[in-house]
């Protein structure tokens, strides 16, 4: 698993305001649903992307068929797709969002070539991590035995 400092992940999560989640499912038991929902409950604007559900509404936003269907600026693209599906998603993200700051690949998703391409364009990359898990860990929301684990840093 790639190693990222807590400072790096905290900075990414703090500066991000709008997240396009590629592969969002409308099924509430799917990780892509509950991660996107969690982020929306934490104040992020979450734009769901899934061609099979385009036009539906999730988290107060219309589901888009592709990243290129998003007209507003996006800070972070969160990818819930297999590693081999990543290259065209990253290419589309880089072409669509000139001010994109982060490409985030979910747990089990890694593509070093696409990561290098994004980094060469000044976009930071996180691979094989979940923003929900990292948010909970970094901002003291993980619970163990009914007790919060303690706040590492202040809330957003």
pTM of the model: 0.89
Please list, in sequence order, all residues whose beta carbon lies within 8 angstroms of the beta carbon of residue 137, skipping any fewer than 6 positions away.
149, 152
Is residue 23 within 8 Å of residue 50, measured between CB atoms? yes
Q: What is the pLDDT of residues 25-39, one digit of tens each?
A: 999 999 999 999 999
**Residue for token digits 């081999």?**
84
Mean pLDDT of the chain: 91
Residue 67 above 70 pLDDT?
yes
**Across 99-111, average pLDDT:** 97
Name the band, by pLDDT with cuts 50, 70 and 90, for residue 140. confident
Q: Which top CATH class is 15-130?
A: alpha beta
Q: For residue 70, what are the CA distances in angstroms to 47, 89, 91, 146, 153?
A: 8, 13, 15, 40, 33
Domain extents in the chain: 15-130
**Across 71-100, average pLDDT:** 97
């Amino acid at each position: 698993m790639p190693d990222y400092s807590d400072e790096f992940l905290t900075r990414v999560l703090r500066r991000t305001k709008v997240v396009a989640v590629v592969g969002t499912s409308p099924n509430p038991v799917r990780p892509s649903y509950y991660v996107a929902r969690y982020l929306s409950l934490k104040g992020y604007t979450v734009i769901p992307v899934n061609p099979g559900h385009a036009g539906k509404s999730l988290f107060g936003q219309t589901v888009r068929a592709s990243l290129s269907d998003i007209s507003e600026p996006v800070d972070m693209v969160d990818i819930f797709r297999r590693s081999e599906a990543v290259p065209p998603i990253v290419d589309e993200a880089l072409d669509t969002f000139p001010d994109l700051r982060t490409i985030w690949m979910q747990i089990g998703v890694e593509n070093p070539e696409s990561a290098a391409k994004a980094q060469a364009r000044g976009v930071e990359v996180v691979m094989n991590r979940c923003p929900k898990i990292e948010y909970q860990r970094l901002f003291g929301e993980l619970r163990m035995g009914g007790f919060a684990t303690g706040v590492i840093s202040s809330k957003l």
